[in-house]
Amino acid sequence: MNNSRTFLKTACKPIVLTTLGIPILEACSTDEDSSSGNIDTTNNGVAPREPLIIDISNNTFINLQDVGGWFNYIEENILLVRISEEEIRVFNNSCPHQGNRDRWSYSGGVFECGYHNNTYSDNCTGSLTCYDSTLDINILTIEF
């Protein structure tokens, strides 16, 4: 009896219905990963990202040495902008309009995406996703 219940619980629904004489066409695969059972749904199914630590004294980040400087760090999918001596703000570089990442410009506190020229403030209150960051001299820590 337990084997029958276990079969009914775990078997593909179309196979069970077909066995009972009910014809049905449906794939037996599911989107569920039965091997893990620990899918994180708190971040739209994307695994949480570890903090990123950047030494901005590295030449790659030379644009961030001066207030107003900015950098599209495509490899990490982030935009960085030097707001003050003590602050660098960090944003997801995915455009809120259609998700493009590679045609940004920045001027006067505003990012502009070159695909359709939508603009986004650097004040962390708009639709451009802003991340928490701390700057300790030249070490920038970003929390995602």
Q: State the Cα–Cα distance between residues 11 and 9, nearest whole angstrom.
A: 6
**Residue 115 is a binding residue for ligand FES (CB under 6 A):** yes
- Contact region with ligand FES (CB under 6 A), list: 3-11, 53-61, 91-99, 131-139: 91-99
Q: State the Cα–Cα distance between residues 60 and 74, nearest whole angstrom.
A: 12
Q: How many beta carbons lie within 10 A of that of residue 92, not counting itself?
A: 17
Q: 6 or 127, CB closer to ligand FES?
A: 127
Kindly tell me which residue out of 58, 116, 138, 139 binds ligand FES, with binding defined by CB under 6 A.
Answer: 116
**Residue 144 is a binding residue for ligand FES (CB under 6 A):** no
Which stretches of the chain are assigned E, i.e. beta strand? 52-55, 70-73, 78-82, 88-92, 104-107, 110-113, 119-121, 130-136, 139-143
Please name the residue ranges forming H helices in the chain: 2-10, 13-19
Q: 73 or 115, CB closer to ligand FES?
A: 115
Kindly tell me which residue out of 63, 92, 100, 141 binds ligand FES, with binding defined by CB under 6 A.
Answer: 100
Which positions touch ligand FES (CB under 6 A)? 95, 97-98, 100, 113, 115-116, 118
